[in-house]
Amino acid sequence: MANVKIKPLSDRVLIQPVEAESKTASGLIIPDTAKEKPQKGTVVAVGPGTKDESMQVKVDDVVLYGKYSGSELNIDGTDYLIMRQSDILAVI
């Protein structure tokens, strides 16, 4: 995991999405235009939380999030998502 110099504020979390599958279970290759947007990723950085909400996720947690959650960022050629902790659905 790369050392990212971004510190999310309040209850925000920085997530590195997993790569979208390029093959199906039966071995068919999926073209880029038909790939599903990933809904799973690894937490890279966590904000301090707020006085009303403590942070329940930590760095290196693998999480599931909504399909259209968060804002996309590209830092040093790597794609990330930044979102509120409440947009995270589950920790795997």
Q: Most distant CA pair in the chain: distance in Å?
A: 49
Report pLDDT for 16: 94
Computed over every residue of the chain, the mean pLDDT equals: 87
Residue 14 sits at φ, ψ, to 5 deg, of -100, 125
User: Which token pair is 45?
Assistant: 């950085």
What's the whole-model pTM score?
0.81
Domain ranges of the chain: 1-11+30-92
Residue 55 has pLDDT above 80, yes or no: yes
**For 1-11+30-92, which CATH superfamily applies?**
GroES chaperonin (2.30.33.40)
Per-residue pLDDT tens over the stretch 9-54: 999 999 999 876 677 778 877 776 766 676 899 999 999 999 998 9
